[in-house]
Amino acid sequence: MTAAPGTALTRIDHALLRSTRRTLGGTPAVPVAQGLSHFGEHALGWLALGAAGWLSGRRRPEWVAGAAGVVAAHAAGVVVKRVVRRVRPALEDVPALVSTPSRLSFPSAHSCSTAAAAVGFGPMLGHLPMAAVTGVMLVSRVLLGVHYPSDVVSGAALGAGVAAVVRRRLIGTAARKA
């Protein structure tokens, strides 16, 4: 997905990148976004949350299904990223504010795993709070200048879809065994 510089998607992506940085760039949103970036790296923060939920001893099959959805969604995002090979934003006026493990951008793996966590952990933690966290993560990736808006929206859709399938399969399997 290497859209030509003059395409409508590219123009919209660039405009939203610049607008997000102008609006939030000099605010406390930047260190929050940087913290979220570290939390979401390789989905490790979400996996730690799933492990903590499992350790609580309650609703263990749901915590396992949620964590499995996060792993599957993150993996799907990485595979798609390697196939598509879209390069991260490189706008002089929107430099990256965090380092990244690769130069590939589409889809956002952080968005994949966060949306998957919202689907998988939402029943235990609340759907609304998890949806809010997902929205904040998506904006943070754009604010940090490491993803185009189309990367994060696509990543969230992929992650939520993968997690929903995993959850349905695993929870359905557990219910049939019970």
State how many domains the chain has.
1
pLDDT in the model for residue 176:
54
Mean pLDDT over the full length of the chain: 92
- Is residue 28 reached through a cis peptide bond, with omega within 30 degrees of 0 on the bond before it? no
pLDDT in the model for residue 9:
86
Q: Indicate whether 163 belongs to any domain.
A: yes
Q: Indicate whether 60 belongs to any domain.
A: no
Q: Indicate whether 121 belongs to any domain.
A: yes
* Percent of the chain scoring above 90 in pLDDT: 85
Q: Indicate whether 46 belongs to any domain.
A: no
Q: Indicate whether 67 belongs to any domain.
A: no
Rounded Cα gap, residues 158 and 164, in angstroms: 10
pLDDT in the model for residue 6:
66
Q: Indicate whether 77 belongs to any domain.
A: no
Q: Name the pLDDT band for 175 (thresholds 50, 70, 90).
A: low
Q: Rounded to 5 degrees, what are φ and ψ at 25?
A: -60, -35
Q: What is the DSSP string of 68-113?
A: HHHHHHHHHHHHHHHHH-PBPP-BTTB--SS--S-SB-SS-HHHHH
Q: Indicate whether 143 belongs to any domain.
A: yes
pLDDT digits (tens, 9 = 90+) for 100-136: 988 999 999 999 999 999 999 999 999 999 999 999 9
**Higher confidence at residue 177 or residue 66?**
66
Q: Indicate whether 131 belongs to any domain.
A: yes
pLDDT in the model for residue 174:
57
pLDDT digits (tens, 9 = 90+) for 35-65: 999 999 999 999 999 999 999 989 999 999 9
The parent domain of residue 134 ranges over 86-178
Q: Is the pLDDT of residue 10 over 90?
A: no
pLDDT in the model for residue 43:
92
